[in-house]
Chain A
Amino acid sequence: MKVLMFGWEFPPHIAGGLGTASYGMTRGLAKHGVEVIFVVPKAYGDEDQRFVRVVNASDVETPFGETWQEDIRERLTFIHIDSNMVPYISPEEFTREHEEEVHHPGATHGDVWKERYTFSGKYGSNLMEEVARYAMVAAEVARQYAGLFDVIHAHDWLTYYAGIAAKQVSGKPLVVHMHATEFDRSGDNINQSVYNIERAGMEAADRVIAVSNLTRKIVIDKYGIPANKVVTVHNAVRFDKPAGKEVERGVDDKIVTFLGRITYQKGPDYFIEAAAKVLKRLSNVRFVMAGSGDMLNHVIRRVAKLGIADRFHFTGFLRGEEVQKMFALSDVYVMPSVSEPFGISPLEAMKSNVPVIISKQSGVAEVLDYAVKVDYWDVDALADAIYALVKYPALARMSASRGMVEVTNLKWDNAASEILDVYRSLV
């Protein structure tokens, strides 16, 4: 089985969960003997050069400081498309960031699909154009690699047009993978163009993979995709190294952590309200909010207003090592997400032996039995759960030890075999 896969990030250059997931998935597929041609956008800065680079897997910097295993190296080909397309950014933000630096003589406005697009090699002036341009390159890739793949697999909306184009050129079946929907990213104020691309991608696809039943339901209910076309394959987690090492603590107090982008989707508000309630009762607890995002200022104001700033700390955005350190310092990890298609970070907390509280509105809740689950809006329940994990050591111990077992069993091997089943059903 050979797969042409369109992603938009791959370790070590990652901004979020998709890169990690792509890596785990590719490894899992390789173990099942699947060969993957992985296409990723990558900005090289030298715009008038090649648009497509075929990169041998052994030339890619090895993620997590480990060497590629032989079997994966043989089964994985990278294709980098020269593009400044970046994930986790809304079309509006993209325009704002790029309008000044990009001079674009052939800039087209209106519907890029109706125009005859001259492939200038320049980056698109807005994200939608770039998505379209990426799709054209993808079509070219599909043409060049004709006969070398059996299935096309596209991850998230940025690559859906690429997937559709590749399908049109090659006639091979298309699988689109919903890691997040526009509703997860923006609540109900969705960006209509993004929604349209997501829907077009899913309609054109032969199968849609959703990362949780929660996402599957959104896909069926809000995008009108026929249920029999949509399959749930839960994400898994990789253990690159053993659980976090001991970190010396500066304070004796128990530490309750929120770690993630501080945006509407992640529910930081609920964390603060619960913190205030817990702090009324317990003096030996501190709350930490790690991350940044568009709600940060709002959140800081709220903490100040509640008068809990002496016990509520902000760390800003944390990277690799710092994240591990934060987990090692935590006694409780909370993910109160309003809407979370899957949510990989609780799994990382669990593998650092930290008990977790997750919202019932997260996809990961479907695969975890031993996490404490609350409704994101139920601040009382959240406060109660935090209190109990701090106050009743038996609960924290059990939650951590059972959680470790549970998270260890969420293997990409299994997820990959379910994905392989999807491929097989189409070929």
Chain B
Amino acid sequence: MKTICLYFQVHQPLRLKRYRFFNMGKDHHYLDEASNRAIMQEVAANCYLPMNSLLQELIHKYGNKFKVSFSITGLAIEQFRTYAPEVLDSFRALAATGSVEFLAETYDHSLASLANRDEFISQVEAHSTLIQKEFGQKPTVFRNTELIYSDSIAETVSSMGFKAILTEGAKHILGWKSPNFVYASALDQKLRVLLRNFKLSDDIAFRFSDRSWNEWPLTAERYVSWLTAPDLPGELINLFMDYETFGEHQKASTGIFEFMRYFVDLSLKSKQLKFATPSEAAKKHQPAAIFSSPYPISWADEERDVTAWLGNELQNEAFQTLYKLRDKVVQLNDPDFNYVWNFMQCSDHFYYMATKWFSDGDVHQYFNPYGSPYEAFINYMNVLSDFTIELDRRAALQHAQQASVEEHCVLA
């Protein structure tokens, strides 16, 4: 009997509008609301709503035999509220069934884990608070942005009280070992590590509609036969993928929804497979070995590293310029500034600056508002420049006010 652990990532960035240097100093409204709205509503119609209702239907049919888990970023939830409240309602309805687990992550889908420990912790806390408020559960399992993992990130996560962490079953770390076991984190072995089975996950997420793939068309029967094959090692199959796989990356016309329905039906009928949430899976299975990665890994690209976000000079420059501002932002602690500070950290901005996609194709291009990495960098830096100017201006103002208050006190 093997356990299937389904986890879906739900995220939409707040995209920046075309912000020229002329705008600087005059225009402090950075977001492209029209496209954020349009994309959110499109994805809601193609993916979130139909897939949520399919999951609701399956949970209704199978009760607690069928389990799924989600990680939804703070930025996505904000956009649900503004542009598609019915999506938020349908997630709440799923939460109410008791068969759905919500995971913790950074509020902004940020790369803070690679920049600043304090910032990272405060974002994870902000996200957990939001999840508790929206869905009534306190997350106990953590997934980092793009499944970025390193031993020291895991240690931080463990120190925050999380029981398990998700990451990629990266071949260069695992070597001959199988991702289909629970592992223990190297620096704090109480923390369990669940590893994505990238072959079986990507069969659905990337290859499902690929007609040049020799397994096309993939049927639920065949897929379930792979999961139940006696020579498949391990006890746990972690299928982690972007939620937008369903209806967006793989359009409804490819049959992806029907596939998922029959996949669940057949899995449960097989009597050899059952479903569990990440926290259940981590609790149930004993760790098979230690999992250790001193350097950050992720689920992206062939290399499974972080070079898609921090791989070239542009990305590094933008990233460093951004995090240099943290002290000022924290000190000012103004809601308007915190809001911008948050969405500017979203990893997608750095993804758009990747030059890797010249060779590594379409996934990077997906919903990319920019024609080139240069455009992405220029636009981001223009916004960041204006934000910095405003931040300094406001800080000076605050400083002056404090000085005058103090002066007042002295006089009084």
Contact = CB atoms under 8 A, between A and B. Distances in A.
Closest 5 CB pairs of A and B: A394-B317, A388-B378, A398-B313, A387-B21, A384-B20
Contact of B21 (A373, A388, A393): A388
Contacts of A254: none
B381 interface: yes
B4 interface: no
Contacts, number: 58
Interface in B325-363: 355, 358
Contact of A385 (B316, B358, B374, B385): B374
Contact of B371 (A370, A373, A394, A399): A373
Interface residues of A, number: 22
A249 interface: no
Interface string A389-405: 00111110111001000
21 contacts: A281-B22, A281-B24, A369-B358, A372-B372, A373-B371, A373-B372, A383-B21, A383-B22, A384-B22, A384-B378, A385-B374, A388-B382, A391-B21, A392-B317, A394-B313, A394-B314, A395-B314, A395-B377, A395-B378, A397-B313, A399-B374
A281 B372 contact: no
A380 interface: yes
Contact of B378 (A277, A369, A392, A393): A392
Contacts of A370: 355
Contacts of A385: 374, 378
Interface in B358-412: 358, 371-372, 374-375, 377-378, 381-382, 385
A381 B370 CA distance: 12
A370 B312 CA distance: 12
Interface of A: 277, 281, 369-370, 372-373, 380-381, 383-385, 387-388, 391-395, 397-399, 402
A393 B385 CA distance: 14
A397 B314 CA distance: 9
Interface of B: 20-22, 24, 312-314, 316-318, 355, 358, 371-372, 374-375, 377-378, 381-382, 385
A367 to B, nearest CB: 12
Contacts of A391: 21, 381, 385
B380 to A, nearest CB: 10
A397 B377 CA distance: 13
Q: Is the interface of B mostly helix, strand, loop or mixed?
A: helix
Contacts of A381: 20
Contacts of B317: 392-395
Contacts of A394: 313-314, 316-318, 377
A423 B346 CA distance: 53
Given A281-B22, A385-B378, A392-B378, A402 B316 contact: no
Nearest to A373: B372
Nearest to A386: B21
Contact of B377 (A281, A380, A388): A388
B157 to A, nearest CB: 31
Nearest to A398: B313
Given A393-B317, A395-B381, 15 more contacts: A369-B358, A373-B371, A383-B20, A384-B22, A388-B374, A388-B381, A391-B21, A391-B385, A392-B378, A392-B381, A394-B313, A394-B377, A395-B377, A398-B314, A399-B374
For A372, A397, A398, A399, the residue with the greatest tally of chain B CB atoms inside 10 Å of its CB is: A398
Contacts of B372: 372-373
B374 to A, nearest CB: 5
A357 to B, nearest CB: 9
B377 A392 contact: yes
A369 B356 CA distance: 11
B231 to A, nearest CB: 44
A291 B130 CA distance: 62
A187 B20 CA distance: 30
Nearest to B315: A394
Contacts of A372: 372, 374-375
A369 B371 CA distance: 11
Contacts of B355: 369-370, 402
B284 to A, nearest CB: 48
Nearest to B19: A384
Contacts of B20: 380-381, 383-384
A291 B318 CA distance: 37
A350 to B, nearest CB: 14
A313 B314 CA distance: 31
Contacts of B316: 394
Given A372-B372, A384-B21, A398 B382 contact: no
Nearest to B317: A394
Nearest to B357: A369
Contacts of A380: 20, 22
Given A369-B358, A394-B317, A398-B313, A384 B374 contact: no
